C-alpha cells in the first residue's frame, strides 16, 4: 500500500482503492479529482488512465507519465492503450464496482500514522460558534450552524498546519475542520480542512489521513441516505430537506460509494459538470443493480450545487 501512496502523492491525488488513484486531470486545478489512474502491470505503461471530465486519453497518459517522471511517449516505442477506446466505459464501471466491493483491509503503519495526525488536529480543534468558522458558514455560505453539528461534525482550529506551496514550508492558518468517519465502524480516519482568510472567505481545502471507505457523516444512516461532494453542499441539502446526508469529499468518492447495509434508497446530490454526471451514473447503476432505489437531485439551471441554490434563495429574500 505504501507504493500506491507514493504514486498518489506524485500524481497529486488520493488513493481510492487497492490499485486506483483519483487525481487532477491535465490542466485542471490541484483540487480536481476527475482523472482515475488504475495501476495495471499488464499495461505497457503500468497503468491505464480514464478521465471523468472527458479529457483526451492521450493527454491523460502524457500527464501521468510526466508527473511520475517517465520519459515522454513517442511514436514507435511500442506503447499503446491495452483497452480500446470504445471499451473504456466498461472498464471504468467494472473497476469501480470491484473497488467499491473491496473488503476493508488493515491499515498500514504509514496509514495509522496519518490517521493519528488527523485525529490529533481534530482533538485540538474547538467549538466553531463565535469563531471565523461560523462567519465562513453564515456569511460566505449562508448556512445555519445547528447545535447538533457543532463539535460532533464541525470544529475550528485557529492554527491548523497548512503546507505553503510557494515556500515549501508549513504555515499555521485558521481552518474549519470536519471528520471523515469509517463507513464500516464509524471511527475517525481523516479530516477535511477548509483554510480560511481573515474576512471569512475560503483560502483552500485539503484532506488529511485516510478517506477511503469514509464519509463526513452529518447524520446517522437510515433507510434513505443522501450523499454529495462537499460538506457545504451537504449542509445546504440538509436545510433543504434531504437529510440524513453524508459528504464524501470528492466527485470520485461518489463513483466508488459502496452499498450500505440497511439503506434501501440512495439520494445523490448532483453538481453541474461532466465529472459529476459520470459519477452519478456509475454509482446509481451499481445501487440499482443491487435492487435499491436511486434518486438524483440537481441544482437549478445556472447554479453549480445545492449550496448555490440556498445562497440564491436567501440572497433574494
- CATH number (domain holding residue 236): 3.40.1360.10
Q: Is residue 115 located within the same domain as residue 205? A: yes
| Residue finishing a domain among 211, 239, 261 | 211
**How crowded is residue 38: how many other Cβ atoms within 10 Å of its Cβ?**
21
Q: Is residue 252 located within the same domain as residue 287? A: yes
| Mean pLDDT in residue range 3-18 | 80
Q: Is residue 94 located within the same domain as residue 117? A: no
Give the tens place of pLDDT for each residue, 136-181.
999 999 999 999 999 999 999 999 999 887 787 889 999 999 999 9
**pLDDT surpasses 80 at 199:** yes
**pLDDT surpasses 80 at 259:** yes
Alpha-helical (H) ranges within 23-87 are 57-67
**pLDDT surpasses 70 at 87:** no
Q: How many separate domains does the chain show?
A: 3
Q: Is residue 189 located within the same domain as residue 255? A: no
| Residue finishing a domain among 154, 179, 211 | 211
* Residue 99 pLDDT class (50, 70, 90 cuts): low
Q: Is residue 262 located within the same domain as residue 316? A: yes
Give the tens place of pLDDT for each residue, 43-84.
767 788 888 777 778 888 889 988 888 776 654 444 433 334
Q: What is the pLDDT of residue 38?
A: 84
Q: What is the pLDDT of residue 164?
A: 82
Nearest to 2 by CA among 104, 118, 100, 107: 107
Range of the domain at 181: 107-211
The mean pLDDT of the chain is 85
| Residue finishing a domain among 100, 125, 155 | 100
Rounded to two decimals, the pTM is 0.73
Give the whole-angstrom CA distance, residue 198 versus residue 14: 29
Give the tens place of pLDDT for each residue, 208-254.
888 888 999 999 999 999 999 999 999 999 999 999 999 999 887 88
**pLDDT surpasses 90 at 27:** no
Q: Is residue 165 located within the same domain as residue 85? A: no
Alpha-helical (H) ranges within the chain are 2-11, 57-67, 88-100, 109-124, 132-135, 231-239, 251-255, 274-289, 306-316
Amino acid at each position: 500500500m505504501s507504493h500506491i501512496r507514493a504514486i498518489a502523492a506524485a500524481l497529486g491525488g488520493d488513493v481510492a482503492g487497492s490499485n486506483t488513484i483519483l487525481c487532477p486531470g491535465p490542466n485542471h486545478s490541484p483540487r480536481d479529482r476527475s482523472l482515475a489512474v488504475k495501476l495495471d502491470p499488464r499495461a505497457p505503461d503500468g497503468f491505464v488512465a480514464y478521465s471523468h471530465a472527458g479529457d483526451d486519453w492521450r493527454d491523460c497518459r502524457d500527464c501521468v507519465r510526466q508527473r511520475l517522471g517517465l520519459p515522454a511517449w513517442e511514436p514507435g516505442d511500442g506503447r499503446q492503450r491495452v483497452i480500446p477506446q470504445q471499451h473504456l466505459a466498461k472498464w471504468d464501471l467494472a473497476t469501480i464496482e470491484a473497488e467499491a466491493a473491496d473488503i476493508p483491509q488493515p491499515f498500514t503503519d504509514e496509514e495509522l500514522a496519518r490517521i493519528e495526525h488527523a485525529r490529533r488536529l481534530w482533538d485540538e480543534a474547538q467549538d466553531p460558534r463565535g469563531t471565523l468558522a461560523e462567519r465562513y458558514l453564515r456569511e460566505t455560505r449562508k448556512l445555519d450552524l445547528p447545535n447538533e453539528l457543532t463539535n460532533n461534525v464541525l470544529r475550528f482550529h485557529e492554527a491548523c498546519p497548512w503546507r505553503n506551496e510557494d515556500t515549501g514550508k508549513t504555515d499555521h492558518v485558521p481552518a474549519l475542520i470536519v471528520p471523515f468517519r469509517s463507513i464500516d465502524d464509524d471511527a475517525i480516519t481523516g479530516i477535511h480542512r477548509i483554510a480560511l482568510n481573515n474576512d471569512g472567505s475560503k483560502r483552500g481545502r485539503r484532506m488529511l489521513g485516510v478517506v477511503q471507505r469514509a464519509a463526513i457523516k452529518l447524520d446517522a444512516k437510515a433507510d434513505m441516505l443522501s450523499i454529495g461532494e462537499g460538506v457545504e453542499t451537504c449542509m445546504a441539502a440538509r436545510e433543504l430537506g434531504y437529510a440524513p446526508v453524508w459528504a464524501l469529499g470528492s466527485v470520485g468518492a461518489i463513483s466508488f460509494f459502496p452499498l450500505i447495509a440497511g439503506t434501501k434508497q440512495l439520494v445523490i446530490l448532483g453538481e453541474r459538470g461532466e465529472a459529476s454526471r459520470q459519477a452519478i451514473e456509475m454509482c446509481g447503476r451499481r445501487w440499482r443493480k443491487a435492487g435499491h432505489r436511486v434518486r438524483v437531485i440537481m441544482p437549478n439551471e445556472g447554479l453549480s450545487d445545492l449550496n448555490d441554490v440556498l445562497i440564491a434563495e436567501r440572497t433574494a429574500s
